[in-house]
Amino acid sequence: MARAKPARPDAGERRPSLVDDAYAAMKLAIRNSDFAPGYQASEQEIALRLGMSRTPVHEAAIRLQEDGLVRVLPRRGILICAIAPEDMREIYDVIIALEGQAAERVAGLPEPERLRAADALAAHAEAMAAAQAAGDLPAWGLADEGFHRTLVEEAGNGRLIRIMQTINDQSHRARMLTLRLRRELDASVTEHRRIIDAIREADGPGAHRHAREHRIRARDTLLPLLNDFGLRHL
């Protein structure tokens, strides 16, 4: 039949296994708070709900534990991890360091890629400004997320991307919750534009500094907010 191998020299595009399904489903459920933090689920129950046996659920749970989203308690079940303000401080420290580095890398790209990256970032920034003008908070959050994801992805460091993805998964619920508490959306857009400008001008240290300061300010406005509201677990 002519073409036996459709497309796979050695790259690893393989159809998802049941373990992958379980992993994705559980991760999504945690993101959406279908599994609330503190909830203790049994593998059997999840397996039943997903229509598979305990084994793939168990293996997915191991991966989620590695991601810091759950804790597998021996012979007691799967505990959905809560996020405390202290965790947010840790998370922000990592973000501050890595996003600064990413911005510097992007600013150091050769001209064509650099300008394409800047344009992509600018598109997200525009979307944020528009959402802000329209008072559309969810859209603002989505555009903000897109901006930061693009910034990290354009840096072209797979490990950095992966770490940031993990960290973002951990803090997603907290971000959703605090989105409506914020009153400083203007500042974000302005700061984003500063980062973009520095990248356009191939100003590595400047991009680093602006990205860093942007996240530092975000942390310094967010953490007191969490403490004021007495949010111990998110």
Partner DNA sequence: CCGTTGCAACTTGCATGGAAGCTGGTAATC
Partner DNA sequence: GATTACCAGCTTCCATGCAAGTTGCAACGG
Residues that bind a copy of itself (CB under 8 A): 12, 14, 17, 58-59, 62-63, 66-68, 71, 73-74, 87, 90-91, 93-94, 96-98, 100-101, 105, 157-160, 163, 167
Residue 1 binding DNA, by CB under 7 A: yes
The kind and range of the H/E element at 80 are strand 77-80
Among positions 150-189, residues that touch DNA (CB under 7 A) are none
Q: Pattern 109-148, binding to DNA, x per CB under 7 A?
A: ----------------------------------------
Instruction: Please tell me the distance from the alpha carbon of residue 175 to that of residue 194, in angstroms, as a whole number.
Output: 23
Among 43, 104, 153, 154, binds DNA (CB under 7 A): 43
Residue 77 binding DNA, by CB under 7 A: yes
Residue closer to DNA (CB basis): 15 or 183: 15
Residue closer to a copy of itself (CB basis): 6 or 135: 6
Residue 79 binding DNA, by CB under 7 A: no
Length of the chain: 234
DSSP 3-state assignment of 40? strand
Adjacent-strand bridge partners of 71: 79
By the 8 A CB rule, do 200 and 116 touch? no
Least CB distance to a copy of itself at residue 110 (A)? 16
Among 54, 182, 200, 217, binds DNA (CB under 7 A): 54
Q: Work out the number of other CB atoms within 10 angstroms of the CB of residue 105.
A: 20
Among 39, 63, 72, 82, binds DNA (CB under 7 A): 72
Residue 61: C-alpha distances to residues 16, 20, 82, 143, 173 (Å): 16, 11, 16, 31, 19
Adjacent-strand bridge partners of 174: none
Residue 136 class from Cβ within 10 Å (0-12 exposed, 13-18 middle, 19+ buried)?
middle
Residue 143 backbone zone (phi > 0: left; psi -120 to 50: alpha; other: beta): alpha
76 binds, among DNA, a copy of itself, none (CB under 5 to 8 A by kind): DNA
Q: For residue 17, give the amino acid letter.
A: S
44 binds, among a copy of itself, DNA, none (CB under 5 to 8 A by kind): DNA
Residue numbers at the binding site for DNA (CB under 7 A): 1, 4, 14, 17-19, 41-45, 52-56, 58, 72, 74-78
